[in-house]
Structure 1
Amino acid sequence: MMSGKHYKGHEVSCCIKYFIFGFNIIFWLLGVAFLGIGLWAWSEKGVLSNISSITDLGGFDPVWLFLVVGGVMFILGFAGCIGALRENTFLLKFFSVFLGIIFFLELTAGVLAFVFKDWIKDQLNFFINNNIRAYRDDIDLQNLIDFTQEYWECCGAFGADDWNLNIYFNCTDSNPSREKCGVPFSCCTKDPAEDVINTQCGYDVRAKPDPEQKTYIHVKGCVPQFEKWLQDNLTVVAGIFIGIALLQIFGICLAQNLVSDIEAVRASCLFT
């Protein structure tokens, strides 16, 4: 007959086991969904039929974000689900170590971002300008830039003139584009009375004097606007990151606890 102490320990193991399984199956399904969305987007753009076209885009392809996040979630969810359900200590240890590495990378990134703020700002400026050049090359990138400029009410990295980097919007005499000396519609100030977006609202706007431009478009850059948003929402952002960190630590502790219980049960069986 099993003693009360052993029975209680077995019951706790079952609770941890099925909690880890239930939590990770949600994580695993979300990973599958993200991967599915990413592959579907690449299929629509013809990337899957021509893999070499991955390198054609000069800027950032947002599909990569879905694939990387989905891949990490899929691997973690799979290891956590199967490890807990089958009581596989190897998969549970892999889950703990992988989650620990992600936590360490997040912590390192946070510290480096705080210490090297100016360098991060320069890299963000380079990243945005690089994507401005590729604005018309990919519809997903275009939608991402438009969303960013609309949400933060900004234009370019540090100002509307950053759109001179794009071959369609630059102000050079040799530019035959109708969008010459303009900006995308997402830079425009919105008229609450307008129900339909005027996609031509940015045409020729940078050919106007600077004071006049302010009545048509947002003249502040996205880097300073992002900094302002971060300062205004610092408590919320910090709370989210702390919540994610605590969730990761909690997951690592639960997995290690379950590994210890499994190994203890196996050891007791050897000596029974």
Structure 2
Amino acid sequence: MSNYRYQNEAGGGERGYSGIEVRTFVSTCVKYMIFMLNFIFWLFGGLLLGIGIYAFKDKWEQANGGVRLETIYDWILNISLVMIITGIVIFVVSFAGCLGGKNEYFYCSSPSVERCGVPYSCCINATDISSGLVNIMCGYGVQEHTVVAASKLIWTSACIETVRVWAERNLYVIAGIALGIALIQLLVIYLAKTLEGQIELQKSRWAA
């Protein structure tokens, strides 16, 4: 929620709330490194899939179609099938990684009325129509507003970011509470060990 960006319809540069062009925070080096690594894994997945299919086909022909696949162990111990399944997973995941690494940009060019909008859960007052009735359109078009205008309609800070900032501001309090809980736990462990020793002494006295 904190990185609102859009691109104008003429295909201009990346812009913020106010429409002023800003420098992107996305590293081109990191983006294309992710793309290349995923591309290498994509090729490896395709190669593994091809080898697995060839090995299974060869085994099928040698057994005259009598490859036994009755139990889960038959599937696990069949190396060619393991290669096929692993190859498919690597192929699909790395292909998705290539798309995600290459196409990280965001556009507000959708013809839908939801363009440049955010979920109604981000709205400061999602029930501004009437009490108890949620206005699911309260976040429509807010990414085209200025920062000041948008902050009056929606929460411009993400939940995790807000929690992180709060934790940093109250770091000593959180550390003190955590230390206190840890000391109490250590005290309980010490008392438990002491009680265990006393019980053992009592048992030895009874045995005597």
TM-score category by the smaller chain?
0.3 to 0.5
State TM-score, norm by structure 2: 0.40
More helix by percentage: 1
Q: Rg bigger for which structure? A: 2
State TM-score, norm by structure 1: 0.32
